[in-house]
Amino acid sequence: MLAGVLIAIAAQLWPGVPMCGAIALIAWGTSLAMAARPPLLVAAAVVYAPLGVLAVVAQVDLAMRADSLAWAALAGLDAAMAITLLASLARQTGELLAGE
């Protein structure tokens, strides 16, 4: 979670820093912290699921509109990492809630 927060802070200072992976890392850390409390875990999922989807869609749009191929590749890689983290997080959250 700390890595995600540091990336989010860096994105505020330097506009070129990709944020999608940072949002996924923050969602991951929050969900891990709430794993022992199912109601809070559900609340975290309700907040971070749409936020994660919006971040991925925005990052993919940015990658498609980028003038530089290197920037497009970096933005696409960031979106792919976020998709992987969020999908794994959704699976683990479902497993945790099914076990309750």
Confidence (pTM): 0.83
Residue count of the chain, please give it. Answer: 100
Residue type, 68: S
CA dihedral 10, 12, 15, 19 (to 10 degrees): 70
In tens digits, the chain (100 residues) has pLDDT values of 888 888 888 888 887 778 888 999 999 999 888 888 888 888 888 899 899 999 999 889 988 988 899 989 998 999 999 999 999 889 988 888 888 6
CA angle, corner 78, sides to 83 and 58, nearest 5?
Answer: 75
